[in-house]
Amino acid sequence: MTTDFHVFDTTLRDGAQREGVSYSVADKLAVARLMDEIGVGFIEGGWPGALPKDTEFFARARTELDLKHAQLVAFGATRKAGVAVEDDPQVRALLDAETPVVCLVAKSDVRHVREALRTTLEENLAMVADTVAFFVRHGRRVFLDCEHFFDGYAADRDYGVEVLRTAFASGAEVGVMCDTNGGMLPMGVGRVVTEVRARVDGKLGIHCQDDTGCAVANSLAAVEAGVTHVQGTANGYGERAGNADTFVLVANLVTKMGLPVVPPECLPELQRVSHAIAELANIAPDEHQPFVGASAFAHKAGLHASAIKVSPELYNHLDPAVVGNDMRILVTEMAGRASVELKGRELGVDLAGQGDAIGRVVDQVKVLEADGWSFEAADASFELLLRAQLPNAPSPLFELESYKTSVEHWGNGVVVSEATVKVHLDGERIITTAEGNGPVNALDNALRQALVHRHPELARVSLADYKVRILGWKGGTSATTRVLITTTDGEREWTTVGVHDNIVEASWHALVDALTYAAL
């Protein structure tokens, strides 16, 4: 591992500035543990003294966090203008957090000094010098975030550099150039970093917001130009459009730039940690996130699959396992024979010598998808369709005579659904009736009751998710409905699909597939 290169994660400070995110202290402790598992060097935990939750986080961290790789960092501002550093309560609160590292934010743009701080350029430099020296005297490692560094540099090439020199002269270990408004592009970042490096003697860092969609690219351009400290946040969460994504940064630094910035055993944890933090933040994971998204290595096009069949490297920029991800083949209207073959392999279905059956499946999927079916999220329905074309195809679970559902709205506001199913099973006619909180739930209960004597495994199965999509091409209430049902047996989940003009019939198709798959 490159010990002189810092990966600095600010999920718990800048990441918490994302609209809609609010971590509890317990969540913050959990996020810190998770980020430690991917081997980052520094975890910025928040701003003690500004947010009571952050003050509590640092107090609890002392006894509850046992970080293996990272050092904990407390964030705060330089002393206030015209106030002695010892007398500034924010500075005191930062010291009381008792972290080995503090990261101070300082103004480095003359406009901000004059208009936002309403002080002089000299006083701002004194604020930097006093505050850095104060923490160094108290035995802390000090990093300095130079806010608005790039915008400031465009207006005045000397002042930001002066702030960095002042910080280094006062004992700061890292001077971080921040693209606070996120308006930079990689070419500009690379140029400015190269120029600044030639003018200051000290370790430089980069902190990029994502307002141009270039935060990761800007950070990598800065690394290319010589910075050795990079800041990011989990999944790119952060103020406005967010920050550079720590997972994408780490993956690129290690696998593309050859910089071993985290221990090798940590890289395969990226996907798991990314998803776990999305859960804690209560944000659905971005399926298309580079490296760690569920779709990052999912292949839909038939031509891609045909080359992947020869060698997965032909259409993957990286072995997905390196970052803990998996390759998936999607079988849709865009599939060819190779897609079906690879999907069969993924599902554990032996397709050796089944060329004709594979051809029939490709044709069938294309026709069904043109009618609104969609198999890419419904692997279980696809597997049933595939097996139905093979020798020893499983026989249907039952023969349907009829089903009926009703919804009753009683005068007291209670709504009750009931369903009756009539099926033939091994020569026996079975009629069952059940209630449910909706017609589909009632149908599910009635069908399960009818089948469970012959298939006791169905007793353990329950509905985990039910999604309806109206396919608009017919319009209004006569539109085609696509239903996706996810079912679980407590250990595994599988998804099935049904399509029909009638929502109950669409649900019935998905339901029958779900139970058939369970019985298989």
Q: How far is the CB of 147 from ligand PYR (least distance, A)?
A: 4
Q: Which entry of ligand ACO, ligand PYR, none binds 117, CB below 5 to 8 A by partner kind?
A: ligand ACO
Q: How far is the CB of 511 from ligand ACO (least distance, A)?
A: 50
C-beta of 51 vs 310, nearer to ligand ACO? 51
**Binding flag, residue 105, ligand PYR (CB under 6 A):** yes
**Binding flag, residue 104, ligand PYR (CB under 6 A):** no
**Binding flag, residue 233, ligand ACO (CB under 6 A):** no
Contact with ligand PYR (CB under 6 A): which of 147, 269, 418, 513?
147
- Neighbour-count burial for 4-16, b at 16+ CB within 10 Å, e otherwise: ebbbbbbbbbbbb
The candidate with the shortest Cα–Cα distance to 144, out of 113, 88, 102, is 102
Binding part of the chain for ligand ACO, among 72-80, 192-200, 255-263, 400-408 by CB under 6 A, reads 72-80
**Binding flag, residue 8, ligand ACO (CB under 6 A):** no
Strand-pair partners of 482 = 469, 499
In one-letter notation, the amino acid at residue 339 is: S
Number of shown-chain residues binding ligand ACO (CB under 6 A): 17
**Binding flag, residue 169, ligand ACO (CB under 6 A):** no
Phi and psi at residue 345, in whole multiples of 5°?
A: -60, -45
Cβ atoms 223, 230 nearer than 8 A: yes
Bridging pattern class, strands 399-409 and 42-44 = unpaired
Phi and psi at residue 118, in whole multiples of 5°?
A: 55, 50
| DSSP structural state of residue 293 | S
Number of shown-chain residues binding ligand PYR (CB under 6 A): 8
Query: What is the Cα–Cα distance from 278 to 275, expressed in whole angstroms?
Result: 5
Length of the chain: 520
Site for ligand PYR in 117-146 (CB under 6 A): 145
Q: Which entry of ligand PYR, ligand ACO, none binds 247, CB below 5 to 8 A by partner kind?
A: none
Query: What is the Cα–Cα distance from 442 to 421, expressed in whole angstroms?
Result: 10
- Neighbour-count burial for 381-395, b at 16+ CB within 10 Å, e otherwise: bbbbbbbebbeeeee
State the DSSP H helix or E strand holding residue 219, giving kind and residue range, or none if neither.
helix 215-224
- Enumerate residues 6+ apart whose C-beta is below 8 A from 139: none
Binding part of the chain for ligand ACO, among 100-108, 223-231, 411-419, 484-492 by CB under 6 A, reads 100-108
**Binding flag, residue 178, ligand PYR (CB under 6 A):** yes
**Binding flag, residue 107, ligand PYR (CB under 6 A):** no
> In degrees to the nearest 10, what's the CA dihedral of 54, 60, 66, 72?
30
Q: Which entry of ligand ACO, ligand PYR, none binds 57, CB below 5 to 8 A by partner kind?
A: none
| DSSP structural state of residue 51 | -
Q: How far is the CB of 75 from ligand PYR (least distance, A)?
A: 8
Cβ atoms 329, 386 nearer than 8 A: no
Show the tokens assigned to 393.
């195809």
Site for ligand ACO in 422-451 (CB under 6 A): none
CA distance between the termini of the chain: 48
Contact with ligand ACO (CB under 6 A): which of 53, 60, 80, 197?
80
C-beta of 18 vs 207, nearer to ligand PYR? 207
C-beta of 217 vs 292, nearer to ligand PYR? 217
Site for ligand ACO in 31-50 (CB under 6 A): 47, 50
Residue 283's CB: how many other CB atoms inside 10 A? 14
Query: What is the Cα–Cα distance from 43 to 232, expressed in whole angstroms?
Result: 10
Instruction: Map residues 112-151 to x or -, x wherever contact with ligand ACO holds by CB under 6 A.
Output: ----xx---------x-------------------x----
C-beta of 33 vs 207, nearer to ligand PYR? 207
Binding site for ligand ACO (CB under 6 A): 14, 17, 47, 50-51, 77-78, 80, 105-107, 116-117, 127, 147, 180, 239
Question: Rule CB under 6 A: which residues touch ligand PYR?
Answer: 14, 105, 145, 147, 178, 180, 207, 209
